Amino acid sequence: MNIAVFSAKSYDREYLGSANTLARHTITFWDTRLMADTVPLAKGCEVVCAFVNDRLDAEVIAMLAVEGTRLIAMRCAGYNNVDLYAAAAHGVTVVNVPSYSPHAVAEHAIALLLTLNRRIHQAHDRVRRGDFTLDGLIGFDLNGKTAGLVGTGRIGTITGQILQGFGCRVLAADPFPPAEARATGFTFCELDELLAQSDIVSLHCPLIPSTRHLINTARLSRLKHGATLINTSRGALIDTTAVIDALESGQLGRLGLDVYENEACFFYDDHSHQPLPDATLARLLAHPNVLLTGHQGFLTHEALTNIAETTFQSVNDFAAGRPCAKTLRPS
Ligand code: NAD
């Protein structure tokens, strides 16, 4: 099959290329994001392989269908950027990689928490400059603290288990907690109670209409004063302006992010040669108690290997006319 890979980075070329060694599909890698302007690059490709910040709205899907696309293979778990109704209407199959390494993302959430809390990034900067002072670097013991998980699916459950290993009491809010999560010893409660009791809150629910700006001014006011908030899930779970206000008032103590609600305009590209044109992001980054990484929770060898192998399993099944196990359908 002819496959157009959008938003392709060096690691996509390496891992997708290796996974294709046996199947020998024809892959064209495009650095650019998929959007209406770049759809013509997919001309004649039965398969389009896309990522978290590619645009797969109704307009783009209709254009892809005209160009001959029959399968959209999302090489990620989240699919909030895909209009599944439009895909169904145009007879385009959509697959994703629902679970490639929940450990990768859970461990990144913990890395953000530990770095922020113990100010490792600031300490590293100081030491490299020959400054060995400790003023302003005071953290807190995780042992004995209460951690709240919003979402206890694959990633949330592993994050909670790691936090239990640090000696945290783990609270959890999830309207549909899976059996694995219920077997962990987490205490399930309502979101408001979780916010009021937790020293650390970590978000692990999907971005759907009902969770957009789940963390807003009202919810931040219910948070335990000075708590730490971690978001490795999707940027728009948080109202960024509200969260900056909460940081400035001290209501929110620390903020660790791997995602940002307008990340599609910046993430995965080098903007270091120009001032950031996003005033909200600039305001966020200026805050000393904020740590941001550029959506790299998935970036481990194991996760990239699983993503590539699962993606090609779907492509191979599709090419052979077999049902694709990872097919997404509108709900
Ligand atoms: P999952 O589907 O296994 O679990 C999601 C859980 O959230 C489910 O148990 C669901 O019931 C729960 N949920 C739904 N609505 C909720 C709500 N309003 N409040 C609380 N819980 C709610 O998903 P997962 O594999 O654990 O992934 C979680 C999210 O992590 C994904 O949606 C994706 O956005 C994000 N993610 C980020 C990266 C990264 O690189 N940073 C990588 C993979 C996934």
Residues 28 and 86 in one domain: yes
Which protein residue's CA is at the shortest distance from atom 18 of ligand 1? 211
- Choosing from 234, 248, 271, 287, the catalytic residue is 234
Q: 107 and 78 in one domain?
A: no
Rounded to the nearest angstrom, the distance between the alpha carbon of 17 and the centre of ligand 1 is: 28
- pLDDT at residue 24 in the model: 87
For residue 80, the ligand 1 atom closest to its alpha carbon is: 34
- Enumerate residues 6+ apart whose C-beta is below 8 A from 288: 122
Do 106 and 87 reside in the same domain of the chain? Answer: no
| Beta carbons of 12 and 29 less than 8 angstroms apart | yes
- Amino acid identity for residue 142 in this structure: L
Same domain, 107 and 237: yes
On whether both 136 and 248 belong to a single domain, the answer is yes
d(CA 191, CA 12): 37
pLDDT tens digits, one per residue of 81-128: 999 999 999 999 999 999 899 999 999 999 999 999 999 999 999 999
Q: Are residues 66 and 215 in the same domain?
A: no
DSSP-derived 3-state class of residue 290: strand
Question: How many folded domains does the chain comprise?
Answer: 2
**Given ligand 1 and candidates 210, 211, 215, 233, which is best to mutate, with the most ligand atoms within 8 Å of its CB?**
233
- In order, the DSSP letters of 101-127 are -HHHHHHHHHHHHHHHHHTHHHHHHHH
Give the CA angle between residues 252, 296, 172 to the nearest 5°: 45
Q: Name the β-bridge partners of 148.
A: 171, 201
Same domain assignment for residues 177 and 246: yes
Are the beta carbons of 51 and 177 closer than 8 angstroms? no
pLDDT at position 152 is 98
Q: Are residues 149 and 288 in the same domain?
A: yes
pLDDT tens sequence across 60-73: 999 999 999 999 99
What one-character-per-residue DSSP string does 29-84 give? E-SSPPSGGGGGGGTT-SEEEE-TTS-B-HHHHHHHHHHT--EEEESSS--TTB-H
CATH number at residue 278: 3.40.50.720
pLDDT, one tens digit for every residue, the chain (331 residues): 999 999 999 999 999 999 998 888 999 999 999 999 999 999 999 999 999 999 999 999 999 999 999 999 999 998 999 999 999 999 999 999 998 999 999 999 999 999 999 999 999 999 999 999 999 999 999 999 999 999 999 999 999 999 999 999 999 999 999 999 999 999 999 999 999 999 999 999 999 999 999 999 999 999 999 999 999 999 999 999 999 999 999 999 999 999 999 998 889 999 999 888 899 999 999 999 999 999 999 999 999 999 999 999 999 999 999 999 999 999 8
Q: What range defines the domain where residue 317 resides? A: 2-100+300-328
What does the pLDDT look like over 277-309, one tens digit per residue?
899 999 999 999 999 999 999 999 999 999 999
Q: Which residue has 């949330």 as its token pair?
A: 156
The type of residue at 153 is G
In this structure, the answer to whether residues 197 and 305 fall within a common structural domain is: no
For residue 253 and ligand 1, the question of a CB distance below 6 A is answered with no
Residues 170 and 29 occupy one common structural domain:
no
| Among 73, 139, 77, 75, CA closest to 105 | 77
Query: Same domain for 110 and 197?
Result: yes
285, 266 contact by CB (below 8 A): no
Q: Is the CB of 148 under 6 A from ligand 1?
A: no
Same-domain check for residues 231 and 264: yes
Ligand 1 within 6 A of CB of 77: yes
Q: Is 151 in the pocket of ligand 1 (CB under 6 A)?
A: yes
